[in-house]
Amino acid sequence: MANKGEGKSEKRLAVSRLVPLHRKESTWHIMVKPGPHKKKNSVALGFVLRNMIEVTKNAKETKGILNAGYVLVDGKIAKDPKRPVGLFDLITLVPSKKAFRILFSKKGKLMVVEEKFEQNEKICKVVGKMVLPKGIIQITTNDGRTLKEKKTDISVGDSLLIKVPEQKVVKVMKQAAKKTVLVVEGKHIGDVAKIKKIVEGTMSKPKLVTLETDNGEFNTVELNIVIVGDDKPVIKVE
């Protein structure tokens, strides 16, 4: 008789290539639950605490500090070790007064970078926009947030500097030439570059961007970039 329902475990060999782990060190990995980030672009909170930040030694200790409410993700208490965390998320350890941000390494792996404990801002990319009844405009971001505005010039592809956990928009960064971007997919993942040119897409072709770095120019699709500032990034991105 066939098994019913979703799988509750995941082998290390099947984990996304973005996760920094030794695949043959052991068999199993903490499986990411559905949440604010896509599975292929995220890592389980429990893995971050145990293997990346190394504040716990095993699953029992990890569950202990999570259940005690000692860990915040984007300013809110997180208790599920399988909660997905992804790019630009802030992980705060309350007892030790330390904060970390999830970023990409030059090798295309997710990594943690220490931040100021008082840091409460993150970048979100706008991935959806729709008009609701009574003219309310709903904005959707890459980390599962929804913002509702009565009037706004925010467009899909723009980035928002958001204060967490209040979800207050501090700055809107339009997708345009000369803006600073972070490459989040492809062989240039983790690179910081400037937009030189944008070629609008069609129904069958994606929007293309030409990017400039100290090492030259290259082209990529718009889906592979996130606006992180004007002349320079507004937060730590590498």
Q: How far is CA 67 from the centre of its chain?
A: 24
Q: What gap in Å lies between CA 127 and CA 143, rounded to an integer?
A: 9
Q: 118: which 2 tokens?
A: 């008082």
Element counts in the chain: helices (H) and strands (E) = 2, 19
Same domain? For 139 and 108 the reply is no
Q: What is the pLDDT of residue 176?
A: 94
Provide the number of structural domains found in the chain.
Answer: 3
Give me the CATH number covering residue 44. Answer: 3.10.290.10
Q: For residues 194 and 19, what is the distance between their CA atoms, to the nearest angstrom?
A: 27
| CATH number of the domain to which 221 belongs | 2.30.30.30
Please report the pLDDT score of residue 234 as a whole number.
95
**pLDDT per residue of the chain (238 residues) written in tens, 0 to 9:** 556 666 667 888 777 778 887 777 777 788 889 899 988 889 999 999 999 999 999 999 999 999 999 999 999 999 999 999 999 999 999 999 999 999 998 888 899 999 999 999 999 999 999 999 989 999 999 999 999 998 899 999 999 999 999 999 999 999 999 999 999 998 899 999 999 999 988 888 889 999 999 889 999 999 999 999 999 999 999 8
In a domain, 131, yes or no: yes
Range of the domain at 168: 121-173
Q: Per the domain annotation, does 237 fall within a domain? A: no
- Pair 22, 108 in one domain: yes
Find the CATH number of the domain harbouring 132.
2.40.50.740
Helical segments of 22-103, H only: 45-47, 59-67
- Measure the CA–CA gap between 10 and 30, rounded to whole angstroms: 7
0.75 cut: is pTM over it?
Answer: yes
CB contact set of 6 (below 8 Å; sequence gap of 6+) = none
